[in-house]
Structure 1
Amino acid sequence: MLIKRNPNGIDLPFPSEITPREVVEGRRAFLARAAATAVAGTSLWEMLQREALAQGAPAQKLAAARNAALSTTENPTSFQDATHYNNFYEFGTDKSDPAENAHTLRTRPWTVQIDGEVKKPVTLDIDRLVKLAPLEERIYRLRCVEGWSMVIPWIGYSLSNLIKQVEPTGNAKYVQFISLADRAQMPGVRGRVIDWPYSEGLRMDEAMHPLALLTVGMYGQVLANQNGAPVRVIVPWKYGFKSAKSIVRIRFLREQPKTSWNLLAPEEYGFYSNVNPNVDHPRWSQATERRIGEGGLFTPKRKTLMFNGYNDVASLYTGMDLKKFF
């Protein structure tokens, strides 16, 4: 047997064979965290997902074919920008807060209750929800009411697939989305920025439009916590706050639901909230927008497009005064 010896003749391991101290301590810390998660009832998978999020590592991959017909050809915003410049008040009001705080969100187990004016009310766990219809990747523009925009490759399927499964009755005129509001997981919920839980809604014909996306992933992987994991909606022709995140309940209603921002400031946030460059927010213009990650501070702003450029939805609002129903 070949025995390796140090040049000085003493039978000690070579420096290259010694496990670095930080690695040993890292392993010990990992085992300690694993033991703690077991006591707390958290799975090892969840712990790994949280640590991957905190370290900026890729999350679980999610395969989906590109739907080119419903995708913009614009270059997507970088993953770093899309996951580190967010509005998600359940985790804080600054744009950087969600990325810093959302590691506390537990996305397994997760269920979505679907009820109200439907023939087949049901509660679905997230895995069943993901498999309800073939997943597609769609590159959508996202325009926020504050005047900034992104282009993001989302993964999901048309919300209409889910709606058809539960068979709404003839009384169902609106769909309401209710987000998780857990003080233990979401530090922002401990404050009173809005009346929790977060609530949003769509008219039934809006929810049935093919562009309305029930979303479970982005950039080829599962949704990042700070982007609304594990399930959200994306309504690309409306301002971003209409696209409810971390959904736990979907209700079908006869009457228009009360929605969070409309309740808080009805003169600023209308129920419809379609992207409309001709209707200014009371405190700023909506005529232009700043694309996140595009150039520097002095890069010219883009002109805001009516319906965010998704003109196929215009027929939904025929005969409506979009300055009154803003």
Structure 2
Amino acid sequence: MKYLKKPSWHINEKEITPKELFDKRRSFIKLGAASVIASSSIVELLAKEQLPIKNLSFIKDKNLNNLELNSYEQITSYNNFYEFTTSKERVKDMAHTLDTTGWKISIDGLIEKEFEIDFDDLIKKFTLHERIYRFRCVEGWSMVVPWIGIKLSDFIKYAKPNSKAKYIRFETLLDDDIFPDQANMLFPAIDYPYVEGLRLDEAMNELSILAVGLYGSKIPKQNGAPIRLVIPWKYGFKSIKSISKISFVEKEPLNTWQKSNPKEYGFYANVNPNVDHPRWSQKKERVLGKFFKQNTLMYNGYEKEVSYLYKGMDLKKYF
């Protein structure tokens, strides 16, 4: 008899529901038998718990590591999105200008045939998977997020890169009508458009996804709607938001933060507690909602899944 070994990043199904809502299942049962009343009451309870109504169909993840999810409110109210503002708390209120209607993504470079695809058509072509991942910011804070997404390896196979393609380059939409900081001609926070990149073998790793949702619903604007990259073993700035262009290239792309300050930010940006940021330690992290800091894990806890990608590399040099 063959036994299927589940990857260590899978998560216990009961943990997919936040503990606070899990403990209140009795409340759902008490809502009444009438379907109309029950439906309206469930919506009301979801609103009270600040959870979205699920609108995506996906394969659920399981939690072998028993990770504790951050709340929907925490995940959607504390965000880095410099195209809007450098204030994490203000992004949520400013992101209403992000219009994702008719969103298109251009795919070019070293592929069989360059093309442009509508976002809604794109997600119909792939199976969506729930992936509950640790998310670690280079600034020293972290959270656990139940992403919904397309396996990046599936997308790469669909794009059909040729043998010359060694890297994949991502670009955020450039539109100063949508993003106020892009319209700042004098003192923008960063150079635009925002650019990120991966080695092709990193992109093909099972953990890499193009996220289109979280908590069972389409991804909120402040979290990078309609589609963003999620690479859980790397610092959060690698997980580029609001992607409008994907290119397959031969040479290593110059990512935005490396361009801005190459002494502090490298191409790889792998979570490594043994390599400090020049201005602060990376040994510990503050989980949103918790008072005490916790130890940061090598590769953010995904060492078994990704360490082979960097075998023989000097991790202090290739940071």
Query: TM over 0.5, yes or no?
Result: yes
After TM superposition, give the deviation of residue 90 of structure 1 in Å. Answer: 0.6
In the TM superposition, residue 97 of structure 1 has moved relative to its aligned partner by 2.1
Counterpart of 1:150 in structure 2 is 143
| 1:64 equivalent in structure 2 | 58
Equivalents in 2 of 1:98, 1:238: separation in Å? 22
CA distance in 2, matches of 1:203, 1:67: 26
Task: Encode CA deviations 1:235-291: one digit per residue, 9 max, x unaligned.
Answer: 000000000100000000011111100000011111000000011001000000000
Pair 1:305 & 2:301 matched: no
Match of 1:41 in 2: none
Distance 1:229 1:60, change over 3 A: farther
Offset of residue 122 of structure 1: 1.8
What is the CA–CA distance in structure 2 between the aligned matches of 1:72 and 1:260, rounded to whole Å? Answer: 33
Kindly name which structure, 1 or 2, has the bigger radius of gyration based on alpha carbons: 1
Distance, in Å, in 1 between the alignment partners of 2:298 and 2:254 is 25
The one-letter code sitting in structure 2 at the alignment partner of 1:143 is R
Residue of 111, 114, 118 corresponding to 1:125: 118
Q: CA deviation at 1:57?
A: 7.8
- Structure 1: state its 5+ residue gaps: 1-55
The reply on whether 1:80 has 2:73 as its aligned counterpart is yes
Aligned to 2:129: 136
Q: Is the 8 A contact 2:52 2:215 kept in 1?
A: no
Residue 291 (structure 1) aligned with residue 287 (structure 2)? yes
| Aligned-pair CA distance for 1:117 | 0.5
Contact 1:98 1:226 in 2 (8 A): yes
Q: Distance in 1 between matches of 2:176 and 2:89?
A: 19
Deviations 1:138-158 (CA, angstroms, capped at 9, x unpaired): 100000000000000000121
* Corresponding residue number in structure 2 for 1:198: 194
Asked if structure 1 preserves the Cα contact closer than 8 Å seen for 2:51 and 2:72, the reply is no
Whether contact under 8 Å (1:72, 1:139) holds in the other structure is no
Residue identity over aligned pairs, in percent, reads: 51
TM-aligned CA deviation for residue 182 of structure 1: 1.3
Residue among 98, 101, 125 paired with 2:94: 101
CA-CA distance at 1:58 after TM superposition: 3.3
Match of 1:223 among 204, 219, 225: 219
| In the alignment, structure 1 residue 317 sits paired with structure 2 residue 310 | yes
CA distance in 2, matches of 1:166, 1:292: 37
Query: Which of 200, 207, 210 lines up with 2:206 in the alignment?
Result: 210
Structure 2: tracts of 5 or more residues without a match: 1-49
Cα distance change of structure 1 residues 194 and 59 upon mapping to structure 2, 3 Å threshold: farther
Change (3 A) 1:224 1:84: same
Q: Please name the residue that 2:27 is paired with.
A: none
Distance in 1 separating the partners of 2:114 and 2:66? 38
CA distance in 2, matches of 1:160, 1:57: 30
Residue 60 of structure 1 deviates from its aligned partner by 6.4
The normalised TM-score by structure 2 is 0.81
Alpha-carbon RMSD: 1.6
**TM-score between both structures, scaled by the size of structure 1:** 0.79
- Aligned mates of 2:229, 2:118 — CA distance in 1: 16
Aligned positions, number: 267
Q: Give every structure 1 segment of 4 or more consecutive aligned residues whose post-TM-superposition deviation is greater than 3 Å.
A: 56-60
Give a deviation string over 1:178-205, Cα, whole Å, max 9, x none.
0012111111212321110000000000
Does structure 2 retain, via aligned residues, the 8 Å contact 1:135–1:157? Answer: yes
* Matching residue of 1:169: 162
Over residues 68-103 of structure 1, what are the superposed CA-to-partner deviations in whole Å (9 max), with x where a residue is unaligned?
27x752111011110000001011001112101001
| Greater mean alpha carbon deviation, residues 90-99 or residues 186-195 | 186-195
Distance in 2 between residues matched to 1:157 and 1:88, nearest whole Å: 22
